[in-house]
Amino acid sequence: MRVIAIVPAAGRGERMGADKALLDLAGVTAIERLVATCRAAGVDDVLVVRRDGAAALPAALAARVVVVPPGGEMADSLRAANAALPAGTDAVVVFPVDHALVEAETVLALLATLQRPGCGIALPLFRGKTGHPAAMARNVFAEIAAPGAVLRDLVRKDPARVRVVPSANPWVHADLDHPEDHRAAVCALHGEPWSTVAQMFRHRSHRAYKPDALAAGQLERLVDAARYASTSSFIQAYSVVAVRDARVKGECARLCAGQAHIVQAPVFAAVCADLHKIAAACGRHGSELQAQSFELFLQATVDAALLGQNLQLAAEAEGLGACMIGAARNHPVQLAELLGLPKHVYVVFGMTIGVPADDPIPRGRMPLAGVLHLERYDTAGIDAVLDGADAGMRVWSKRTNAERGGYQGRPVSETKGWSERMAAMWGGGSDYVAARQALVDELRRLGFGLG
């Protein structure tokens, strides 16, 4: 069987900000890695589709180039490649450069499946979703020549001719589309996908969830991992109340500013600062908890925050989405009563956990210079940091409006920067401050002296 790989790489990479084919992936370009993968899988030849005027590919690349006019779609690239296929081609592998981290074993499995009776298309399947590359019989791929045809038309035309091949490689889905994808890819190549650092860079807060329940034992596994967070003096002053009952989640949502995703998510986790166990330990040994200590309150709150961050990272590492809910501090006494919290425990923040149903635009963060100071705090650079934070917020706002139709169903101001938003939230007349004026008194009611 003579197999030709077709690599669509004609885009400008505008969202990436660079030519995707020439991205550096741990010392080699994306196109070099992809071609090497094809060769390792026994592919006979590789056709790389490039737009006219694109930068040259590496000189030693073992591939042929098909040139197309700029501005076309992926289907146009595939039609051009179809016309350039050599005589005697039996099968093609459509392998977008976006998926350069897919390994040779995936290609081999697709080609083996393609040779089975009745199979015209073989697709990789990761966590229940098909991806790239796609292996096709030559006569099936030829259907791309029809006017207006796109790749998904070939897949959907006759489901009986399509086979899926389970894959353990997340890169059959995850592509190189944005700078954060490139950063994650580089991290993945230096560790196991996803590496912890890559997962941190990919973080987004999800506020819409599919109805899927967490897998059996998954919640326990995630919290079990999260409790290995650092803890001050080994006090382990934290606890998690996981709410799955729809009625109780509804009450939690009511007390947390009516946020609908609390009800929608399969799990609402109340992450608590918990001195109850320490109070019991003191009582066991004839002593009394010094609940008036602000230092102890602070230690418990920090402990809970560290556990919560670990919990969110663990959830994301298993393909789930999460969102921290600071509004859990709006009505701390009522929420404590609802969850049956004993004295000396309060909810620091809530967290929704589940399979995400949204794909929010990453907000990025303020410039590193505003966070990392070497030897001494640098106050001289604050204006530059604020300018950078403002610019980043405006870029996020424009992308969110253009690509997602706004944020949580509403258009986002594209003129307000980060500093203006912070001034409105925490400056004079702040609604945030006004909403939590009674927080200290409520914490005292819950057993925290705060003396």
Quick: pLDDT tens for 129-179.
999 999 999 999 999 999 899 999 999 999 999 999 999 888 998 888 888
What pLDDT band is residue 216 in, cutting at 50, 70 and 90? confident
Reply yes or no on whether the pLDDT at 56 is more than 60.
yes
Mean pLDDT for all residues in the chain: 93
CA 108/CA 233 separation, integer angstroms: 53
Residue pLDDT, tens place only, 368-378:
999 999 999 99
pLDDT number for residue 354: 97
Say whether the peptide bond before residue 133 is cis (omega within 30 degrees of 0): yes
**For 322-349, what is each residue's pLDDT tens digit?**
999 999 999 999 999 999 999 999 999 9
Average pLDDT over residues 348-376: 94
Residue indicated by tokens 């949204």: 358
Confidence category of residue 429, pLDDT binned at 50, 70, 90? confident
Per-residue pLDDT, averaged over 243-266, amounts to 97
pLDDT confidence of residue 25 = 92
Burial annotation 278-316 (CB, 10 A radius, 16+ → b, else e):
bbeeeeeeeeebebebeebbebbbbbbbbbbbbbbbbbb
Q: Residues of the chain with pLDDT > 70: what percent?
A: 98
Residues paired with residue 353 on neighbouring β-strands, in sequence order: 267, 322
- Rounded to an integer, the average pLDDT of 419-424 is 93
DSSP string, 99-150: GTT--HHHHHHHHHHHTSTT-SEEEEEETTEE-S-EEEEHHHHGGGGSTT--
What digits encode the pLDDT tens for the residues 373-414? 999 999 999 999 999 999 999 999 999 999 999 998 899 999
Task: Note whether 54 and 27 are within 8 A (CB).
Answer: no
The SS3 of residue 246 is helix
Could you report the per-residue pLDDT of 86-145, keeping only the tens digit for each? 999 999 999 999 999 999 999 999 999 999 999 999 999 998 999 999 999 999 999 999
Domains in the chain, CATH or no CATH each: 3-172 (3.90.550.10), 203-360+438-451 (3.40.109.10), 363-416 (no CATH)
What CA–CA distance (Å, rounded) separates 106 from 248?
45
The predicted model gives 210-220 an average pLDDT of: 91
User: Is this prediction's pTM over 0.75?
Assistant: no
The answer to whether residues 106 and 133 touch, using CB atoms and an 8 Å cutoff, is yes
282 pLDDT above the threshold of 90? yes
Phi, psi of 368 (to 5 degrees): -55, -30
What's the pLDDT at 190?
Answer: 63
Amino acid at 305: A
Residue 191 reports pLDDT greater than 80: no
- Give the Cα separation of 108 and 117 in Å (integer): 17
Q: Where residue 14 falls among pLDDT bands split at 50, 70, 90?
A: confident
CA distance 220 to 131: 30
Mean pLDDT (whole number) for 297-315: 96
pLDDT given for residue 451 in this prediction: 65
Task: Write down the pLDDT at residue 437.
Answer: 80
pLDDT at 180 > cutoff 80:
yes
